[in-house]
């Protein structure tokens, strides 16, 4: 796929001193909760509401109608990188999630410990969800006994429970490697080098490595085998700074979001997690950055736990902190989410995400009724793709030249 829109925007970008702040309240959108309204509707948010009354509102589709994004695609869309064009492998996302420093030559894969029977068929794809501690012990055993192929280092890291990260490090590795997870029980793991992956030298190495691991783990009661999927090299994508002629910085406390920012070349300048610290650190970052990505995790975390009251409280926490951010006077301020996470679903969802944008050239303020999913969908921004949001903010900040004469 082509990134025609991104290429167009990049060709029009010009640098100036104006500041754009993108405040992501992770999983912000919600659906109704038993007639009581969404979490944004239920939260008491005097500062957000006052800002909404003088701001443009709208909503974004992270990927496409009906599509629920993971955290990677959700943020790539917000950064203006079409998530359907810029697809990131699960192995790389696993590395980002534990802040493993991938090198350009690395190939990363997501591992699951699993249980196989004496015939070699998978009986439990998650090895009874072993503990993190057991995960670490089994990985240590593999590391001690494995004989890596010549010229290749095998790096293994615990993620959580039955999940781990495997990174192959060496020159000339490729990532044309099949998933070995059969996604079913009663069948054996797949070969990494089966067609159409049979021309990959690295896939054959993976088969050798996994055969060794099987031998090493043969006497384990539960985690006696591994399944690998999402083999991927670290992508080389256009860097945010060059693409948009802005000086970007990330204010983000959680590894996954720092990692996604780094994927597009946004350096992490601060790692706060509370709303108050995020707002004050963002204002500091505005001194020497023209674009700040600020990330607040807890609106998603509470919603993933099904904790509606917790999500409401976290929205109110950000509302209380907001005056600090506003005092920094960003030229264009966007407040939105990377996706919706309804507490009733305990998961990310496909719902459009409410967005608020303040700036100097608006068609009046849309949020006389506050900032929520209902007021947002009638706003002047309309319903746009997430990838169109930064270009729109750039237009408002005078950072895009005219197209054609």
Residue 380 is a binding residue for its own copies (CB under 8 A): yes
Q: How far is the CB of 244 from its own copies (least distance, A)?
A: 11
Indicate which single residue of 70, 248, 343, 370 sits in contact with its own copies (rule: CB under 8 A).
Answer: 70
Residue 253 is a binding residue for its own copies (CB under 8 A): no
Q: In terms of DSSP bridges, do strands 268-270 and 163-169 run parallel, antiparallel, or are they unpaired?
A: unpaired
Indicate which single residue of 83, 248, 272, 330 sits in contact with its own copies (rule: CB under 8 A).
Answer: 83
CA atoms within 13 A on the CB side of 378: 13
Indicate which single residue of 21, 24, 38, 115 sits in contact with its own copies (rule: CB under 8 A).
Answer: 38
Residue 15 is a binding residue for its own copies (CB under 8 A): no
Residue 121 is a binding residue for its own copies (CB under 8 A): no
Indicate which single residue of 18, 24, 25, 73 sits in contact with its own copies (rule: CB under 8 A).
Answer: 73
Question: Strand pairing partners for 5?
Answer: none
Q: How many residues bind its own copies (CB under 8 A)?
A: 65
| 259/268 Cα distance (integer angstroms) | 9
| 299/89 Cα distance (integer angstroms) | 26
| 20/194 Cα distance (integer angstroms) | 48
Indicate which single residue of 203, 278, 283, 400 sits in contact with its own copies (rule: CB under 8 A).
Answer: 400
| 295/266 Cα distance (integer angstroms) | 13
Structure tokens at 36: 């009581």
Kindly tell me which of 1 and 184 has the beta carbon lying closer to its own copies: 1
Residue 9 is a binding residue for its own copies (CB under 8 A): yes
Structure tokens at 345: 């679903």
Kindly tell me which of 90 and 169 has the beta carbon lying closer to its own copies: 90
Torsion of CA 281, 283, 284, 289, to 10 degrees: 110
Instruction: Find where tokens 């050239």 sit.
Output: 361
Closest to 383 measured CA to CA, from 342, 319, 336:
336
| 291/277 Cα distance (integer angstroms) | 18
Question: Strand pairing partners for 232?
Answer: 108
| 353/384 Cα distance (integer angstroms) | 10
Q: How far is the CB of 85 from its own copies (least distance, A)?
A: 10
With contacts defined by CB under 8 A, name the span among 25-33, 121-129, 214-222, 294-302 that binds its own copies.
Answer: 25-33
Residue 358 is a binding residue for its own copies (CB under 8 A): no
With contacts defined by CB under 8 A, name the span among 276-284, 286-294, 309-317, 378-386 that binds its own copies.
Answer: 378-386
Cβ atoms within 10 Å, residue 405: 3
180 contacts 115 by C-beta, under 8 angstroms: no
Kindly tell me which of 216 and 385 has the beta carbon lying closer to its own copies: 385
29 contacts 362 by C-beta, under 8 angstroms: no
Residue 101 is a binding residue for its own copies (CB under 8 A): no
Kindly tell me which of 168 and 400 has the beta carbon lying closer to its own copies: 400
User: What x-and-dash track marks residues 320-349 binding its own copies by CB under 8 A?
Assistant: ----------------------x-xx-xxx
Residues of this chain that bind its own copies (CB under 8 A): 1, 4-5, 8-9, 12, 30-32, 35, 37-38, 63-73, 83-84, 87-88, 90, 93-94, 230, 342, 344-345, 347-352, 361-364, 373-374, 377-378, 380, 382-385, 388, 391-395, 400-405
């Amino acid at each position: 796929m082509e990134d025609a829109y991104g290429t167009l925007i990049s060709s029009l970008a010009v640098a100036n001193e104006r500041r754009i702040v993108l405040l992501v309240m992770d999983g912000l959108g919600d659906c109704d909760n038993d007639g009581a309204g969404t979490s944004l509707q239920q939260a008491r948010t005097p500062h957000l509401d006052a800002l909404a009354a003088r701001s443009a509102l709208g909503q974004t589709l992270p990927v496409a109608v009906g599509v629920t994004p993971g955290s990677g695609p959700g943020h790539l869309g917000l950064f203006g990188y079409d998530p359907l064009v810029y697809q990131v492998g699960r192995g790389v996302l696993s590395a980002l999630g534990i802040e493993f420093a991938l090198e350009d030559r690395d190939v990363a894969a997501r591992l699951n410990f699993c249980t196989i029977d004496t015939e070699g068929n998978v009986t439990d794809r998650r090895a009874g969800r072993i503990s993190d501690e057991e995960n670490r012990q089994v990985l240590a055993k593999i590391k001690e006994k494995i004989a890596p192929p010549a010229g290749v280092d095998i790096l293994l890291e615990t993620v959580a429970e039955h999940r781990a990260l495997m990174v192959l490090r060496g020159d000339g590795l490729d990532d044309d490697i099949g998933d070995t997870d059969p996604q079913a029980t009663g069948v054996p793991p797949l070969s990494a080098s089966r067609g159409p992956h049979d021309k990959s030298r690295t896939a054959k190495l993976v088969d050798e490595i996994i055969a060794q691991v099987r031998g090493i783990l043969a006497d384990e009661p539960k985690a006696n085998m591994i399944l690998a999927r999402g083999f991927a090299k670290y992508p080389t994508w256009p860097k945010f700074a060059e693409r948009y002629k802005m000086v970007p910085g990330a204010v983000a406390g959680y590894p996954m979001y720092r990692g996604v920012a780094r994927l597009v070349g946004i350096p992490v300048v601060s790692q706060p997690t509370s709303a108050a610290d995020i707002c004050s650190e963002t204002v500091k970052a505005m001194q020497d950055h023209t674009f700040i990505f600020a990330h607040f995790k807890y609106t998603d975390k509470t919603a993933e736990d099904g904790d509606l009251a917790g999500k409401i409280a976290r929205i109110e926490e950000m509302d209380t902190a907001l005056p600090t951010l506003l005092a920094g006077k960003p030229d264009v301020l966007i407040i939105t989410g990377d996706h919706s996470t309804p507490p009733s679903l305990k998961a990310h969802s496909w719902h459009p995400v409410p967005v608020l944008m303040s700036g100097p050239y608006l068609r009046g303020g849309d949020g006389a009724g506050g900032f929520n999913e209902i007021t947002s969908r009638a706003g002047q921004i309309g319903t746009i793709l997430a990838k169109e949001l930064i270009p729109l903010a750039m237009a408002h900040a005078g950072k895009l030249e005219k197209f054609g004469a």
